[in-house]
Structure formats: structure tokens, C-alpha cells
């Protein structure tokens, strides 16, 4: 595939951004060894930037970030792309509003996925970021776009930017790669808190009207204009 100079410049910028965002995964305790990945869509082209397969986090650089098309074919890079690339590519192909995807096996959220149990909306932080419960997606094998199909089927029409893929781990989406990383961090945090709450008793659900109010405030009012 031939890309224009402007797209090539954009790719270099995104490679630097995606490389830097990978540091947030170990920093926030979301990954071990080489597991997990961050990707970003390349605007103006049917391309994505993603971590290469099996590379340690302390070895990640902008230069070794790889570029693929939305069929997960390698377009640029010396290393093989992540084994999750087909899943990321499927999401970008079928969810045009998504510009960032993250995958982790963070401990508490993945424990919920092993039980195929959604994380209930019992915290204001869950209402704020996820707009309701964090849903569970279907079991799917790694290597093709089956996981991507499950992500899209589960999150289409859902306010949550996170899905717990059954027996696997967490995938998050966002309007940017940074937003998807934030969702992954928050998903693990609330998964841990709700787990602890259940050790103490039965967490109390938030009424739907309050969930809607909290979500609208956080998404539209919270932060700096």
C-alpha cells in the first residue's frame, strides 16, 4: 500500500503516541510480561498502529510500532504485529467512531470475565465512565477476527467503552487511544472495588435515572472546557 507524505507524517506521530501510551499499562498494573496492547486508528487511511508481538514493555519505541491495514495485513514495520491485531482491525472496520483500542488481562477485571459476570453499576465511577454495567462478551479464540466480532456485537449500542471477553480479559475502545487506555485503567479499578464490596456484603445498585444523570454530567460537564 502506498501512503501520501501527509499520512506518513501522521503515522510517525501516532507511532510515538502509541508507544508512550503502552507505558501506562504496566504503570497502572494492567499487564504482566509482554501481554496486552494499545492501538490507534490512522485518520484519513484504513490503517492502524499497534504494538509488535511479544516485545517487552521496556523495549517498546516509536520505531518498532507496526502499521497494518484493517484486514490485519502488515503494511509497515520490521516485526510481526500483535496476535490481537485482527480483533483491533475488526473493531476499527465496523465501529467508525472508535479511534483507539486497548487489550489487557488486568487481574480483577479478568477474574470477572472468567466468571462471565458483568460488573454491576454500583459505583458513581461506573456510572460516570461506563454508563451502566460493564458487559461480558462471548468466548472466542485468539488469532482471527472472532474476538473483534464479539467486541463489536457486545458494545454496539452500549454506553460502556469496556467489555469483559469471557475467559480472556478486557478490551476497551475510545475516541482516542488515550481514552481507551483511561477506560482500561478505570475498568480494573472498579472491578477491584466491587469485588471488595462483595466480600463485605451485597453492593447496592444505583437507580437508572441517577446513572443517566451521572453519565451525562461526566461526559458533558466534567473537566475543563
Which residues are annotated as catalytic?
103, 105, 128, 168, 222
Torsion angles phi and psi, residue 77, rounded to 5: 140, 150
Using CA atoms, how far apart are residues 99 and 14, in angstroms rounded to an integer? 11
Helices within 75-224 (DSSP H only): 85-94, 107-114, 124-130, 146-155, 177-200, 208-220
Is there a contact between 63 and 144 (Cβ–Cβ < 8 Å)?
no
Identify the burial level of 79 via C-beta atoms within 10 angstroms of its C-beta, where 0-12 means exposed, 13-18 middle and 19 or more buried.
Answer: middle
Please state whether 72 falls in left (phi above 0), alpha (psi between -120 and 50) or beta. left
166 in helix, strand or coil? coil
Identify the burial level of 111 via C-beta atoms within 10 angstroms of its C-beta, where 0-12 means exposed, 13-18 middle and 19 or more buried.
Answer: middle
Amino acid at each position: 500500500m502506498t501512503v501520501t507524505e501527509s499520512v506518513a507524517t501522521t503515522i510517525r506521530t501516532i507511532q510515538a503516541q502509541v508507544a508512550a501510551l503502552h507505558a501506562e499499562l504496566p504503570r497502572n498494573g494492567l499487564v504482566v510480561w509482554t501481554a496486552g496492547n494499545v492501538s490507534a486508528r490512522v485518520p484519513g487511511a484504513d490503517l492502524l498502529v499497534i504494538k509488535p508481538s511479544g516485545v517487552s514493555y521496556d523495549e517498546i519505541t516509536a520505531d518498532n510500532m507496526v502499521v497494518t491495514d484493517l484486514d490485519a495485513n502488515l503494511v509497515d514495520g520490521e516485526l510481526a504485529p500483535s496476535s490481537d491485531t485482527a480483533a483491533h482491525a475488526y473493531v476499527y472496520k465496523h465501529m467508525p467512531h472508535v479511534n483507539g483500542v486497548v487489550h489487557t488481562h488486568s487481574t480483577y477485571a479478568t477474574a470477572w470475565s472468567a466468571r462471565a459476570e458483568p460488573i454491576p453499576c454500583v459505583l458513581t465511577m461506573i456510572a460516570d465512565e461506563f454508563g451502566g454495567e460493564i458487559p461480558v462478551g462471548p468466548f472466542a479464540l485468539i488469532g482471527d477476527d472472532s474476538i473483534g466480532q464479539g467486541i463489536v456485537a457486545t458494545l454496539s449500542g452500549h454506553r460502556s467503552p469496556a467489555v469483559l471477553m469471557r475467559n480472556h480479559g478486557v478490551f476497551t475502545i475510545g475516541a482516542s487511544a488515550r481514552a481507551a487506555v483511561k477506560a482500561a485503567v478505570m475498568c480494573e479499578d472498579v472491578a477491584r472495588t466491587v469485588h471488595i464490596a462483595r466480600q463485605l456484603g451485597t453492593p447496592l445498585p444505583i437507580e437508572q435515572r441517577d446513572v443517566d444523570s451521572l453519565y451525562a454530567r461526566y461526559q458533558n460537564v466534567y473537566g475543563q472546557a
